[in-house]
């Protein structure tokens, strides 16, 4: 793969991967670092075979890097202030502002990871339950149970007009 081909792939998938990493990490700068690392890894040691879509392959790489980061010692030992999640709203981050509902995005970011990733993959990535189960290596029943719990948590936290977006699904 040459540099021009990599640039085309980065242009086509970069923003999507950045948004995905942001939803996992809740930190724009760290999301940029993760996505950059994914593209470097893809370029230097690409063992990609045309078995699926490039988008799915890069998304899986990004999700795995995000999870690795969240499990890392340095991340787990950070001390967050009480209003850390609330600063997302005041920073006016363009990744969140581009979404139709800022309140929904912030509420999703507050969910625990196991529920947040189900919501992101289902509503933002538009994967089916079966695809999410394969992607996360879980049973379909586990994915359904987490989806139900995630919706319940969101319903408790959202105003009724925001909840209408998810209740029709």
Task: Give per-residue pLDDT as tens, 34-66.
Answer: 999 999 888 887 666 666 678 888 888 898 898
Give the Cα separation of 46 and 86 in Å (integer). 38
Identify the band that residue 159 occupies on the pLDDT scale cut at 50, 70 and 90: low
CB count in 10 Å sphere of residue 134? 13
pLDDT of 167 strictly over 80: no
Instruction: Please report the pLDDT score of residue 166 as a whole number.
Output: 55
Q: Report residue 105 as tokens.
A: 């995005």
Give the Cα separation of 80 and 13 in Å (integer). 31
Give ranges for CATH 1.10.10.10 in the chain.
Answer: 96-169
Tens digits of residue pLDDT in 116-138: 889 888 888 888 999 899 888 89
Q: Which class in CATH covers the domain with range 96-169?
A: mainly alpha
Instruction: Please report the pLDDT score of residue 136 as a whole number.
Output: 87
Reduced to 3 states (helix: H, G, I; strand: E, B; else coil), residue 84 is: coil
Give the count of alpha carbons within 13 A of 73, CB side only: 0
Instruction: Please report the pLDDT score of residue 1 as a whole number.
Output: 67
pLDDT of 152 strictly over 60: yes
Instruction: Please report the pLDDT score of residue 161 as a whole number.
Output: 46
DSSP-assigned letter for residue 77: T
Q: Which CATH number applies to 1-78: 1.10.30.50, 3.50.50.60, 1.10.1740.10, 3.20.20.140?
A: 1.10.1740.10
Tell me how long the chain is.
169
Mean pLDDT of 103-119: 84
Q: pTM value?
A: 0.57
Give the Cα separation of 34 and 73 in Å (integer). 16
pLDDT of 92 strictly over 60: no
pLDDT of 32 strictly over 50: yes
CB count in 10 Å sphere of residue 132? 22
Give ranges for CATH 1.10.1740.10 in the chain.
Answer: 1-78
Give the Cα separation of 96 and 89 in Å (integer). 8
Percent above pLDDT 70 for the chain: 71
């Amino acid at each position: 793969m040459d540099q021009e081909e990599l640039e085309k792939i980065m242009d086509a998938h970069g923003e999507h991967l950045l948004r995905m990493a942001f939803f996992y990490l809740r930190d724009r700068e760290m999301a940029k670092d993760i996505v950059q690392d994914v593209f470097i890894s893809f370029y230097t040691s690409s063992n990609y075979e045309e078995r699926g879509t490039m988008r799915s392959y890069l998304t899986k790489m990004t999700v795995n890097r995000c999870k690795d980061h969240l499990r890392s010692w340095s991340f787990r030992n950070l001390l967050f202030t009480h209003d850390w999640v609330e600063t997302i709203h005041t920073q006016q981050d363009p990744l969140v502002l581009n979404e139709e509902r800022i309140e929904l995005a912030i509420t999703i970011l507050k969910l625990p990871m196991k529920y947040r990733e189900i919501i992101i993959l289902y509503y933002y990535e538009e994967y089916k339950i079966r695809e999410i189960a394969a992607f996360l290596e879980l049973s379909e029943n586990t994915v359904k149970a987490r989806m139900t719990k995630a919706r319940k948590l969101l319903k408790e936290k959202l105003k009724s007009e925001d909840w209408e977006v998810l209740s029709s699904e």
